Structures are given as C-alpha cells and as structure tokens.
Amino acid sequence: GAGVSQSPSNKVTEKGKDVELRCDPISGHTALYWYRQSLGQGLEFLIYFQGNSAPDKSGLPSDRFSAERTGGSVSTLTIQRTQQEDSAVYLCASSLAWGVGELFFGEGSRLTVL
Amino acid sequence: AQTVTQSQPEMSVQEAETVTLSCTYDTSESDYYLFWYKQPPSRQMILVIRQEAYKQQNATENRFSVNFQKAAKSFSLKISDSQLGDAAMYFCAYRTPSLAGGTSYGKLTFGQGTILTVHP
C-alpha cells in the first residue's frame, strides 16, 4: 500500500475483553514495529518483526500481549483480558529492513478500556 | 541502555519567529543516528530531520535545522519562520545501526516529546 495502514482507528472495550489491532505495512518493507503511546507519554517499544520472526519480545508489557505476522506482511497485536492501564495509542511502523532506513508510521489505533 | 531526554514538555512560539527544542541522550556508542519526528493531532509520526553521528555538519531541511553537539550528547531542533502547521508534538529519537549486532541494536528509542504551540 501507499502507507502504513492500521485498524481499527479507535476501539472502546470493556475490561477483561480481548482485542486485536491490525497493521498493514508499506509493500516491500520487511521490518515492522509496534509502539505504545500512553497519554502524555513518549513511545514505548513493544516488539519488532523482521520478516515473520520476532527476535526481540522483551518490550511486551505482560504475557497478555502477543503479536504475530504472517506472510511477511500484515501483523496483528492481540491484548487478552484487557485492563484499564492498557488504554493507549498503539502505533505501527515499517521500514525496508530492521535498523535500515526511515521508519514510516501509521496513524495508530486508540484503545480505550472502560 | 540508551536513553533520550526532552526537558521541555511544552514550548510556544509566535508565527514567523524561531524556536529551539532541546534533546539530550545517553549512549556509550560512537556510531548512531538521531532523528526528530513530528506528531500532529492526526497521530501519524512524520520524520522531520535526521543526523548521522559521524557527520560533523549539522543537518538542515528547509526551515528545520539541528545543533548536534556529540561530546555534550545534545541534539536540538531549530524551527525558523514558524508556521501554524508546525504545531505538533515533537519527538527526539536515537538509533544504533543494526550492523552493530544484537537484537537491541537498530531499535528506535524516543524521548518523552515536546508539545509545540504556534500563536498567530
């Protein structure tokens, strides 16, 4: 695609529910990144993919968070049993390869957990 | 671990004037990259300018320029002739080259951000 696409743009859910956030990177970009931006905070690195593999999962805040990427393209970030502290904007970015080139960001998915 | 600090939570400037946003970082590496990203209300992060640490010359992109002081680990952004469209949150970011090895290299580390308001 022309840019990084994320869906949904906004998601409101109840505490305890599972949510899935989707990221469609720029075509041809092999690296994909997930960041979390809490209100008034900077960007917290969650996980990155090079192709379909995720060498570094240390940024995921808890075992309720998981991410996968299939076909070297679309990625899904899943949050199970959501908590109020999970409320944030989840930003996805892609680049030509890990650590190479500029990161292009999507517009993010705003998650609100009631 | 590398850290990036932006000490100004908020800044304001009059339209057509100049403003400087501060950023400091901590690293033991000699080769790295520094970036300034802009995040308007649309939430999409946009790259404003980048600087390679091995280059002594400060990067410039139109009205945007940086003052890179490697020894002081300082990387400030100067916006000249400020425009209303410059209003946004600005993030300073740091990255080491992935070729340096290890999975932590290549990761982009962001500061806390500075909200810039431009007054007409």
List pLDDT tens digits, range A27-81: 999 999 999 998 867 789 999 898 888 877 888 999 999 999 988 899 999 999 9
Pairwise CB contact (< 8 Å): B112 & A41: yes
Q: How much is the pLDDT for A69?
A: 94
The pLDDT score that the predictor gives to residue B29 is 84
Q: Which residues of chain B have pLDDT under 50?
A: none
Question: What CATH number is associated with residue B67?
Answer: 2.60.40.10
How would you classify the pairing of strands A31-37 and A88-95?
A: antiparallel
Domain that holds residue B72: 3-119
The confidence score (pLDDT) of residue B14 equals 97
Is B33 an interface residue toward A (CB < 8 Å)? no
d(CA A81, CA A26): 30
Distance, in Å, from the CA atom of A38 to the CA atom of B23, rounded to the nearest integer, reads 20
Q: Residues A101-114: pLDDT tens digits?
A: 788 999 999 999 99
Model pLDDT, residue A79: 98
What residues pair up with B41 in beta bridges, in sequence order?
none
Specify the pLDDT at position A9: 96
CB contact (8 A) between residue A42 and residue B108: no
User: Domain A5-113 belongs to what architecture?
Assistant: Sandwich (2.60)
CB of A37 closer than 8 Å to CB of A44 = yes
d(CA B119, CA A109): 29
Q: Nearest to residue B105, comparing CAs of A55, A104, A106, A37?
A: A55
Pick from B43, B103, B112: CB nearest A42:
B112
- Is the separation of the CB atoms in B22 and B68 below 8 Å? no
- Domain total in chain B: 1
The burial class, CB within 10 Å (0-12 / 13-18 / 19+), for A86 is buried
**Measured between alpha carbons, how far is B5 from A105 in angstroms, rounded to an integer?**
21
Of B42, B47, B109, the CB nearest to A102: B47
CA distance B51 to B75: 9
